Amino acid sequence: MVQTSTAPLPSSARPYVGTGQRRIDGVSKVTGQARYAAEFPADGLLYGHVVSGGALASGEILRIDTRAAEAVAGVVRVYTHENRPRQPWFDSTYQDQVAPPGIPFRPLKDAKIVYSGQPVALVVAQSLEVAAYAASLLEITYREEPFRTDLAAEQSNAYVPPEKRAGIEPPPPDRGDVDRALAEAPVKVEASYFVAAEHHNPMETHASTVVWNDGKLTVYDKIQGVVASKEYLNEVFGLSPDDVHVISPFVGGAFGVGLRPQYQLFLATMAALDLRRSVRVTLTRDQMFTLTYRPHTIQHLALGAERDGRLTAIRHEAVAATSTFEDYQEVVVNWSGLGYRCPNVAFDYKLAKLHTYTPSDMRAPGAATGVYGLECAMDELAHAAGIDPLELRLKNYAEEDANTGKPFTSKQLRECYRQGAERFGWSRRSPRPRSMRDGRELIGWGLATGFWEASMQQTSARAVLSADGGLELATATADIGTGTYTILAQIAADAMGVPIEQVDVKIGDSSLPASPLEGGSWTAASAGSAVQKACFGLREQLFHHARAMEGSPLANEVLERIIFTGGRMEVANDPSRSVVVADVMAALGLEKLAAEETAKPDQDAQENYSGYTHSAIFVEVRVDEELNVVRVTRIVDAVAAGRILNLKTARSQILGGVVFGIGMALEEQSELDHRFGRFMNHNIAEYHIPVNADVRDIDVIFVEEHDDKVSPIGVKGLGEIGIVGTAAAIANAIFHATGKRVRDLPITPDKLLRDDVDGVSSGMARAG
């Protein structure tokens, strides 16, 4: 007989989704219990130190003398291109999941040098200190060949990539007659914008611990998707799926650098298989600059408008850097076709091959770059036309995606503008540059719009309910610091009506149900939808069991009328008719009940709608009139991103993106010395990023938005929208403060001090 209850619902019956919950993994992180890739123990562990060939950007190794290194006590093996084990990968065309067209870099393949800093040897020893010391004893002789690392000098050699990168849309077809519209436009701007190369620099450097056990490998890797590393190892080393198990429960930041398996994984696995020992390879901070980066990009924009500010023409062209061996591509210019209503639009996107490593996705790849150019050009157009920058954007507001002609799944950008402007006090802005000041500081107010794609990927998840009320979730997705553990627990707790403390989330393990890489701001929508679907599968099983039991108060009911709350199933509007879930499990003799489901994006929505997240960023800067030092004193970022799962972690995502944007606008630049072809500021001391003193008041507004098309749980994603537009808003505020238009990021004091800064390096803006 099933017992019923009319007791008051416990506090756990309150919904978790939409509230500000603390991270469920927070305690383990701050107490050091959370283990990262280089922290997992293994018996007899050996340590590998990578030798970076930083002497040249192109050429070959003529001689490599390893004798002194091999003579050091504790050194087990020194691997070079001359003695490394033969691998199937060296003769195959295999590419990893996110590889662009071309041939991936293959460490130690041969004597060829294709970029400065590439790994040329691996020293394996009984301790990390011995390996590093022995590595310093290697004597290497090179032959240098001509190289190219200057994007500006290579513009004339730029080309349209012959093969499209998977998942990256090429520029849409031109529409209208841009040349004629520009020629006839009474107001026009034309300018070039420069974005410097940036390296990711997450707190955790890349590392792989490969545990060898009788030919089978357990691999702890820094990666944004364990399935990617597993597939990579299976293909590269010709291993069977059962021989490789990849684990990555915690990732100390990534921002895109962890989307591809990096070379330390190959080297550690190569050594482990050859030596039949467990091997760990950890990259130094300097060596993080020998990996991927946001590509330096040059953009040229021309905008034409009527005197009232209505756009008549947009031309957006871009040349971006790639390596000599892969055609890395981003969506850079497309944003200008969907951002604003305009009848005449033309696009051009080309690549220039440089002797560097292949660039990669870096927080909002393409958008952070392309929207910077577009939004600065819009600010220049507003100034040339004598129109308020916010009014100009509202006048050209796009109600549909003009690139495709499709309606948006949802778009509350107008409300972002309204709420952001009201909170910021935009109406008090004096329009004339250099007209607002406080003592020796010039005050500038600027704004920009943010756009980022909202999508969902197919993801599987498993939910297991225990007789004691514990709920275990499992999916192979990752948590790169975004709060994935917590939001999945929230979704499941609400779905099953249990306290969040009873939910155990397992992720970052290739043996769990399949999940895509964590990237593109799609993880919350994808993994969250899969978890909810798995929990709904559990609900259905429990309900049918409970309804079929003798004397059940749920007899003749339908699942749609059942509420799961407080560990019970109760009939909506009649809590007296309820069943305790634990009683159902006990009556059936079940210790556990499981459901595994796969969530897929809505095909109709994908084909007939465009999904994007939107934001409006308002910025205040103060610029010292004599020193030209810029301080970002206030930012209001109003974001429309569908359903917000966790107010606390969601706000943190936007804060992080905004700080990223501050760095992009004012500080971050990987400095290439074209005489040597290498990045010179390859450490945190000289690669400048925002610190506490650079970050002031950041106010985040989440604009209410309902979206039932992007994902089953109404989520759009927040990981990247925070950076998009932020650099442009800061640049626009600096112009308003100083009257100087700097179009070359980052905007450093020396650029503001130049007398020719307004127009010489970047173009013209005029009202005819």
The Cα-based distances of 573 to 109, 556, 558, 562 in angstroms read 69, 16, 14, 10
**CA–CA gap between residue 515 and residue 525 (Å, rounded):** 12
3-state secondary structure of 220: strand
Per the structure block, which two tokens stand in for 390?
């916010």
Give the dihedral of Cα atoms 604, 605, 608, 610; nearest 10 deg: -160
DSSP 124-154: EESSHHHHHHHHTT-EEEEEE------TGGG
C-alpha 314/C-alpha 344 separation (Å) is 6
* DSSP string for 441-475: EEEEEEEEEEEEE-----EEEEEEEETTS-EEEE-
Closest CA to 475 of 221, 218, 227, 210: 227
**Which pair of tokens denotes residue 424?**
């910021």
Pure H helices in 628-743? 647-666, 726-738
Q: Are 701 and 636 in contact (CB under 8 A)?
A: yes
Token pair listed for 255: 């921002």
Q: 391 Cβ partners below 8 Å, 6+ apart?
A: 309, 382
Instruction: Kindly give the pairing relationship between strand 187-195 and strand 118-125.
Output: unpaired
* CA-to-CA separations, 136 to 53, 66, 129, in angstroms, rounded: 12, 10, 11
DSSP 98: T
- Dihedral through CA 660, CA 663, CA 665, CA 669, nearest 10? -120
The length of the chain, given as a count of residues: 768
Which entry of 231, 375, 597, 720 is annotated as an active-site residue?
720
Whole-angstrom distance, CA of residue 390 vs CA of residue 420: 11
Q: Which tokens sit at 493?
A: 């707790």
For residue 720, indicate whether it is catalytic: yes
d(Cα 521, Cα 695) in Å, to the nearest integer?
Answer: 24
Q: Is residue 490 helix, strand or coil?
A: helix
Task: Please report the beta strands in 137-296, taking only residues with DSSP state E, as ranges in sequence order.
Answer: 139-144, 187-195, 198-199, 207-213, 216-221, 244-247, 279-282, 293-294
- Per-residue b or e along 138-163, where b marks 16 or more CB atoms closer than 10 Å to that residue's CB: bebebeeeebbbebeebeeebeebee
Which parts of 253-405 fold into alpha helices (H)? Answer: 263-275, 335-338, 367-385, 389-395
CA distances from 331 to 201, 316, 365, 453, 613 (A): 22, 12, 7, 11, 15
Query: What's the rounded Cα separation, in Å, for the pair 448 and 367?
Result: 13
Contacts (Cβ under 8 Å, ≥6 apart) of 750:
none
Active site residues: 720
